[in-house]
With several copies, the nearest count.
Chain A
Amino acid sequence: MPVPVRELELDLEAFEGPFDLLLALVLRDELDLGEVDVAGIVLAFLERLAEREELDLDACGEFLVLVAALLELKARALLTGEDGDLEDLDPAQAAEELARRLADYRRIKEAAAWLVDRLDEESDRYFRLGPAPLAPRVERRLAAQDPAELATALRALSAEPPAVSLAHLELRFPPVEQFLGRFRSLLARRTRFDFDTEVDGLTRVEQAVAFLALLELRKAGEIELSQASPFAPIRVRRNAETQTERTTTWTARSA
């Protein structure tokens, strides 16, 4: 019987109830995401998984998508300075705004995924980039220009730009990439490793993020996971057919 991710019971400081409800409350802005311990959710899920005889990978996949969505929301919720007046909105509007931003970003991700597929399909289309070998040389001629344009350009360049908040530049996603890189290079050297040993000594949050990275690698088919028994160490093994050059990583696709 699969672990019903969305019904995952959470007992966090800020929230007690099923995971799905938590997401709904967040979207309705009835719960401050800043208060929500995402790592706590991951740990609750891990414990739930550990109760089972074997690793439920489908549940892991769904969980990954939902938790990724939550992380995105949380990240975006921290952006209030950028677009200014989220605080001035009533809760419903704020929820709407957050949902809109999340939707925007998801759409961009989907568009990027479409481009990746497209590039893959078109990779056998070769064409010439430069001029043809025996083509005549092109002479580009330019009409007379007004020197005043030069002054205008330099003047514009030296004008004080309106103040723009750089708050958004501070935003960083949790270092899933960092763990992806770390695990990949580990697997380049060894065919298998023990997850628990690897993350030993890290904070709970880091361990949670490391686990997300593990799920992502598994989803990408780069590794296989096994666990002898509940609470036994998670063993990570390099998938035999691992592609060495993966450029698309950490893509949260919809479930």
Chain B
Amino acid sequence: MDRPLRLVAANPLDRLARTLEALLVVASQPLPVEELAEAAAEDAERVEMALGLLAERFQEGRSGIVLERVAGGWAFRASREAADACGRLFERPVERGLSQAAMETLAVVAYLGPCSRPEIARLRGVAADSVVAGLVERGLIAEAGREDGGAVRYRTTPLFERVFGLESLSVLPRLDDLGDAEDIRERLESLAEKRPA
């Protein structure tokens, strides 16, 4: 009784895969597995399996449509191979001309979580107003309530994760791994110790 069922099982999964394709092609942002499962009226496990099938079909080199895991969900995008063609037809208003100040501000907000303009200004050592307004305008950060002092706080948006191709904020490299700030400090401190008293 078990075997024939298994044999036909391939078919429903294929049907589910088609449903997921349909959902993903009309969605305007990455869809988490749970949302896909709910829309497809299926359980998450089977959705994961079907996504596995699709990820294989829609991959770089094989298809112009690529399925990627990004911003906490799944989304279609254009293959990198077609970037030139896309560049001729579409603008990239979100990330064009992001200044160093904008990048530092994004880094502060992405790493420290919701924070206000005064906090950003303190960390960067310069006023952050116009930079923050620019990032809000581009949709890379958004308001996230107010802090006690009354200042509006900001967080990064799913669009930020999407533009930077991040599965989630948790894949950002740990700050400690990035630089050698500690290293420089230690070097200087050890030098100071060597100094004759």
Contact = CB atoms under 8 A, between A and B. Distances in A.
A1 interface: no
Interface residues of A, number: 86
Contacts of B96: 143
B26 A105 contact: no
Contact of A164 (B30, B108, B118, B172): B118
Interface string B123-155: 111110000000000101000001011110000
B107 A154 contact: yes
B121 interface: yes
Contacts of B49: none
A52 interface: no
Interface string A115-153: 110110111111111111111111111111111111101
Contact of B184 (A69, A116, A149): A69
A154 to B, nearest CB: 4
A107 to B, nearest CB: 4
Interface stretch (B2-10, B40-48, B51-59, B72-80): B72-80
A172 to B, nearest CB: 6
B80 A125 contact: yes
A17 B122 CA distance: 32
A75 B125 CA distance: 8
A62 B165 CA distance: 33
Nearest to B161: A147
A108 B148 contact: no
A102 B108 CA distance: 14
Nearest to B84: A124
Contacts of A156: 146
Contact of A144 (B77, B149, B165, B191): B165
Contact of B106 (A69, A131, A150): A150
Interface in B13-37: 22, 25-30
Q: Which of B90, B159, B182 has the most CB of A within 10 A?
A: B90
